[in-house]
Amino acid sequence: MALADDIQMAERHVLQAERHIKCQRARIAALKRRRLPRGKASNFLQLLEDAQSMHLQHLSRLLEQASRKRTEAGYAVPVPLAAE
């Protein structure tokens, strides 16, 4: 699999995890409104958030790798402009 494909897959995983976390938070809020136990739902939310952290770290590593490859290939790396 090419690096660009890996980056696209990692980006999809980040977006999917965001949706899962949002849905799980909504479920927890619904349980709270109904005064039902939320322990297992909260534990699962923590697992989702931990997985998201790993997805973001993976994406970051892939983007750094792509940046290094561009630099090694002689492509210009954008330099931020100084604030005026």
SS3 of residue 13 by DSSP: helix
Candidates 72, 54, 58; CA nearest to 6 is 58
* Residues 56, 14 contacting (CB under 8 angstroms): yes
- Cα–Cα dist 23/17, whole Å: 10
**Domain edges within the chain:** 3-68
Candidates 26, 16, 28; CA nearest to 52 is 16
pLDDT in tens, 25-41: 999 999 999 999 999 99
pTM: 0.81
pLDDT in tens, 49-64: 999 999 999 999 999 9
- Written as six digits, the tokens of 81 are 């402009």
